[in-house]
Structure 1
Amino acid sequence: MGRLGARRGGRPLPGGGGRAGRAATIPGRRLQSLEGRLGVRLLHRTTGSVSLTEAGAEFLVRVRAILASVDEAEAAASAHAGGGPRGLLRLALPGTFGRMWIGPLLPLFLAEFPDVRIEAEFSNRFTDLVAENFDVAVRLGALEDSRLVARRIATRRRLLCAAPAYLARRGRPETPQALLEHSCLGFSGFQTFPAWEMTNREGRRVRVEVSGPLVTDDAEVLVEAAVQGVGLMMSTDWLVGRELADGRLVPVLEDWTLADEGAVYVVMPSVKGQAAKTRAFADWIAKRFSPEPPWRG
C-alpha cells in the first residue's frame, strides 16, 4: 500500500486530495519514520490489506506492556488524590521472620491505611512475585532476581550463643577449635552444615565441623533447646534478639565473625513498583526498621 495522496495512473488515490487527505498521511509518515529508525518493517503492506510482521507483533506486545504500566502509574497517582492507598495488598513473607517481626506490625499498618486489605502468605518457599501476582515480599539474604525492585531495610548478622546454665556447666569456649568439645545444635538449613565458618579480626578463617544431640531444619526448635541449656547454637541476630535482650542466651566467641551474606529486603515486581498501596507498605515497613531493626532495640 503506497502513501496516501500519491498518484497512480495519473489519478490521486481516494483521500489523497484536500485537507483530510493530507491529515490522513500523518500516521503513515510517522510509521515509516519509526520503521526507518528501527531498521525493520513492522507491517506487511499489500494492495487492500495490512498485517503485522513478526517484528511488528513483538513490538506491539512490548508497547502494550509499557502503556499498561503508564495506566497503573496514573491509577496510583489518582489513588493518592482520592484519599490514599487502597485495594488488596498481597504480601509474601518468610515464615519465622515474618511471624516474629512483620505479622505483629500488620494491624498497625491497616489502622493507618484503612482502605487497604492484606492477604499475607508466610512461607520459606521461593515465591515468584510476578507469576503469582504478589505486590510485595520481604526476603532475607542475597537477591538474584533482576526483575525485582529491591530496597534494603535492615542488616543482619550471625553469632554463636548459649544459655548461661550451659556455659556454667560446660565452660565457655575460647577458640573455634574448642567447639569440638561442646554440644552444638545443628541447623540443617545452613548451606555449610555441619561446618561453622568464622573469621577473626586479623582475617584468619577457621572451619569447624561440629556435632551435637539435636539437628533440625526448624530454627525455632533450636532456640528453645539452646535456652534450655542443651547446647551451643549458631543463629542470626533477628532470631535470638529477644533471648539475648533478656539474658536467656548470651553470645560466645564474640571476637569471631561468622560467614553470612545479604540483609533484609523489601522487594516488588518492577511493573508494580509505583502502585500506591505497594509504595505505602514499602515506605512504612522501612521506617519501622530504621535506624535500627527491632531485634536490636
Structure 2
Amino acid sequence: MQESFFSDLNELSAFVALADTGSFSAAGRQIGRDATAVSRRLSAMEARLGVRLADRSTRKVALTEAGQRYLARIRPLLDGLQSAGREAAEQVDGQVRGHLRISLPGSFARRWMTPLIVGFLRAHPLVTIEADTSNRFVDLIGEHYDLAIRLGVLADSRLVARKVAERRRVICASPAFLMRYPHLQAPQDLAGVPCLCNTRNSNPYRWAFTQPGRRREVVSVRGLLASEEPELLIEAALEGLGVLHSTRWYVDAHLREGSLVEVIPDWQLDDRGAVYVITPATSGTPNKTRAFSDWVAQHLASELG
C-alpha cells in the first residue's frame, strides 16, 4: 500500500498559524484551539512526513529548513482553498455578499468616496463595509484589509494595483490675489509670494516644475498656510490669501467658474501620480472585493478622468 503524505486541513491550518506566530499558545489562539492541540497536530505531521518541521524551545518555535520549504508549498494551497470557500459562499443565489474592510485617504474619501460607498451598499444589500479613513498606511495582508485606495506613485509590493485615474497637480490663485501679484510668469517668481502648501506632499515647501524643451526647475516657497486638508487650503485661496498647490480634481469646479485661475500654466508640476485601487495578491479575489473594485474604478474613472 502506498504511503500517504497528506495532512488534513486542521493540521495545515495549525502549522501555518504556528509559522506565523512562533508559539504554540499564540497559534492555538489564532485557530481557536489550545496549545497542546497545536503541538499534537505538528507531531502528527512530522511523523507522517518523516522529517522535523520545527525546532521547539521553552520560548519560541522556529521552522527548520524543511519546515520553511513545506510552508512555502502549502500556504498558497491553503489560501486557495479558503478563497474558494469564501467565493462559493458569496455566490449563494447569485448575489454579492460579505464584509469588506477598506482603507481610504481621508480628504479624498470625503470628497469622492462617500457617494460611491453609499451607492454600492444600496446596490448590494448583503454587503457590509468597515471603512478606515485615518490616512494611516495600512498593511493590507497583515491587518486583513480587503482593499485600499492609494494616491501618488506606488512602490513595488506584494499587492495588486489597479490604476483608475491620473492625478495632475496644479498651481492656482484667486483673481484678486493675481491683481496684487501680476508678475507671476515663471516658477522662480513664486519664491517671494505667500503660498498655500499641502503637507501630505513629501516636501511641501519645494515645488518642482517641468516644461517641454526646458530643464526641471525647483523653487522654495514661503508657506503662509500649510495643511493636509485640501478644503482648508482651497478656502484660503478663494479668499485671496496665497498661491495654492493642489490636485486638479479638487479645484476643477473653481477653475471652470473663474473663482480660481491657473498660475504659470505653461509649466507642469513634476508630481503626477495616479489613483489606484489596491488589493492583496492572493490566489483568488473574493466576489465582494472584485465587485467593489469594479464599482469604484468605473465611477472614479468617470468622475476624475
Structure number, greater radius of gyration = 1
Structure 1 residue 49: Cα displacement = 9.8
Q: Distance in 2 between matches of 1:116 and 1:256?
A: 45
Q: Which amino acid aligns with 1:25?
A: Q
Query: Within the alignment, does 1:198 sit opposite 2:209 as a pair?
Result: yes
Matching residue within 180, 185, 189 for 2:191? 180
Q: TM-score, with normalisation over the residues of structure 1? A: 0.77
2:299 corresponds to: 288
Q: Distance in 2 between matches of 1:242 and 1:104?
A: 18
Matching residue within 53, 66, 80 for 1:70? 80
Query: Within the alignment, does 1:152 sit opposite 2:129 as a pair?
Result: no
Distance 1:81 1:171, change over 3 A: same
Structure 1 residue 272: Cα displacement = 7.0
Q: Distance in 1 between matches of 2:72 and 2:240?
A: 59
1:107 corresponds to: 118
Structure 1 residue 199: Cα displacement = 1.0
Is the 1:162–1:249 Cα contact (8 Å) retained in structure 2?
Answer: yes
Moved more, 64-73 or 196-205: 64-73
Q: Distance in 2 between matches of 1:241 and 1:75?
A: 45
Aligned alpha-carbon RMSD (Å): 2.5
How many residues matched? 255
Distance 1:61 1:172, change over 3 A: same
Is the 2:198–2:228 Cα contact (8 Å) retained in structure 1?
Answer: yes
- Percent identity over paired residues: 39
1:263 corresponds to: 274
Is the 1:186–1:194 Cα contact (8 Å) retained in structure 2?
Answer: yes
Is the 2:193–2:242 Cα contact (8 Å) retained in structure 1?
Answer: yes
Q: Distance in 1 between matches of 2:49 and 2:121?
A: 55
2:104 corresponds to: 93
Is the 2:101–2:129 Cα contact (8 Å) retained in structure 1?
Answer: yes
2:4 corresponds to: 27
Is the 2:107–2:229 Cα contact (8 Å) retained in structure 1?
Answer: no
Q: Distance in 1 between matches of 2:95 and 2:235?
A: 43
Q: TM-score, with normalisation over the residues of structure 2? A: 0.75
Structure 1 residue 160: Cα displacement = 0.4
Structure 1 residue 151: Cα displacement = 0.6
